[in-house]
Structures are given as C-alpha cells and as structure tokens.
Structure 1
Amino acid sequence: MKLYHCPQTRAFRALWLLEESGLDFDILPVDIRDEASRADATFRSASPMGKVPALIDGDTKLWDSGAIALHLVDSYPQAGLGPAVGEPGRGSFVQWLMFTNAVFEPALMEKFTNAAVDSSRSGHGSFPQMIEVVENGLQPGPWLMGERFTAADVLVGSSCHFMKLFGAMPDSPPIAAYIERCQSRPAFAAAQAVEAKASAGDE
C-alpha cells in the first residue's frame, strides 16, 4: 500500500488513519505546491486532480479522504476502524465520514474567508450550525460513535485539529477536549512525527 503525502495538507488524515490501522504502507512524497511535482504522470494517474491524499492499494487508486477511509474500513476489518455493513451504527458512521468534506470543511472555509452565506440556501448550513452538530455528536462521547474510536474520528478530529491550528477555533469546551483526546493517541503522534520529518525534507 502506498500513500502520496505532502505535509500540512489533508494527507494528514490518511496518514493518521493508516497509523491507526497498523497496516504496512509506504509514503510517496509529493510537493503539491510545486507545479512540476504536481504534474508528475505517475502521481496524476493516482490523483487526477493533483491533490493529496492519494492511496494506491493493489489495483485500487483513491484520491478522496472519505473514500480512502471507507476503503480501509471495509477492506481491512481486522483494523477495527469502523462498523461493517450490516452492523449497528454503520449508517451513523458513514454519515460522519461524509460530514467532514460535505459540511465541516465548507463551513470552515467560510469562516476563514468571512464569506456572507445564507444558511437557509447553503447545502452545508453555517459555521455555528456545524459546530453545534459536532458538539451534539460528541455526547455522550468520548468519540463520535460513543466508546468506540473509528475512522470518523480521524476525519472529523483532523479537521478540528486544523481548525484550532489555524486560529478558527470557537469557544467550545467539548471540541477542545475532543481535540486533546485525538492528539493523545499514539497513532496521531506517529503521524505528526512523519509530518515533521517531511517538513524538514527528510521524508
């Protein structure tokens, strides 16, 4: 299994997820900020949009973090990263996977850009609505699926982490505590170590 990775990007989600899985994988560094690197034909065959993360697993090539998460959950159930099809909670689990790209990130980008959006017309609502949904989803906690940590926490948790990192964190004790729980996981620390090496040019 191979992961195209660039530090300080959404590839961190897939990296953290793979660290949580315990599966063997290799990292293929790519600098998506460099036109020549982004245009590399081998990379673009795995990621037509020239974005990361991109995962190669045998003949399967995936270039969306939600799709990568679902693939790993379903293809490697021994990793225990989410309920299988037919298991209780599967629907809610998939909904949280989709929530990150469909709701969290668009709402967060509006926060960054101070865009004026009519939430009644927006497909993803508003930033305050998104925060409220996450806070409610963490009840009773400690994770989105209750006592079980899943790939949904990797996707939502990484977005919460970056929200704090980039100074967009609202006054939300439940989400602040959730971020701390995510950051305390050994796999999160392992992914951060890889990011640090990559940022130093030693990936």
Structure 2
Amino acid sequence: MTNFEELQHSWLSQSIEKNTTDNITPILQDKLEKHQRKLRRSNLFMSAGFVLAGSVIAWVYLTYHQQYRWPFDVSIGSVIFLMVVFAVLSWKSYSFRKDQRDVAGIDYLDNQIGKLKWQKKMLTSYVWVYTVLLWLAMVGYIIEVTKRGSLLFTFTALAITTIYIAGVSIWSRFYKQKQQLNAIDELLKNFEQMRNEIG
C-alpha cells in the first residue's frame, strides 16, 4: 500500500462529526406547532387590543389634553409606550423561522431554545414589570383627572383600578401562566436534551 492509499484509507475511516440528531418526533413537532399557534393567536389578539386601546387613549388625549397639566401627558404617553414595548417583546418570543423543521440541526435547536427561554422570561418577569409600570401610569392619570373631585372619589378610583389590575394579574399568574409555563418547560426540556445529544 502506498503512502497516498494509506492516507486516503485513514481519512475515509474517520467518523463524521454529528451535527444533527434524528428527525424531530412527530409528537414533539405537533406540540411545538400547537404551542406556536397559541402564541401567534395570543399575540394577534393582544396586538389588536393594544391598537384599539391606543386609539381610544389617543382620542382621550387629543380631546382633553388642554384641560390637564403634565402628569396627564406623562401618564398617557407612558401607557402608549408600555403597550408598544410589550407588544414588540411578545412578538420577539415568537419563532418566525420555519426552516429545518424536519431535521434538528444545531441552529434550529438553538433558535427554538432561545425563543422558549424568552417566552418563559416574558411570563415570569416582564409581565410583572409591565403590570407595575402600567399601574403607576394609571395612578398618575387618575390623580390628575380626579384632582378637582373629592379625596374619596380619587381614592375610590385608585382602589378600583388597583383591585382590577391585581385581580387580573393574580388570576393570570395562577391559571393561564401556569399552563403556559408547563408547556414551555416540557418543550424546553425536549429541545435541550436533543441539543445535548449533538454536543
């Protein structure tokens, strides 16, 4: 055997580095697609709600801004800004990439893991930050709008708003978000396991 043949044989006998795992199981793919559909539908409804709410808020501002001082302007601007930022962050967690769905390549798995971790962070952290900042903006709005009324009226409006926002947040945390987090954790576990198999 010549040196070239030995080199060729040695080259061909080397194992090829594995950079894909087996095909994603149909069950996992169905779960991911179902999760993606729910997320897309939720984001679409949220975005439509934000557009509608933003339109009403803009109308309120344009109609009444001359009657109130700067806290009114700041609170209205803050609410609009918070809705836009929250919508952008929510859509960031949606995976628009559909390539390599049949074969779990490294890029595909890393993309899915990143999106799922972002969704989890949205539910566990950013929703709460958004809720607190929205409540603060509403407090500024209520105080400015009700300052000509009685103190009891202002406190009543603040109490109703606080109870409503707290109630929706608590219900969402212990019912809706719990289900979403369970689905995300299950998908994340499967994708991370596949990613670890690649190495």
TM-score (normalised: structure 2): 0.29
Q: Which has the higher contact order (CA 8 A, sep 6+)?
A: 2
Greater Rg over alpha carbons, structure = 2
Give TM-score, length-normalised by structure 1. Answer: 0.28
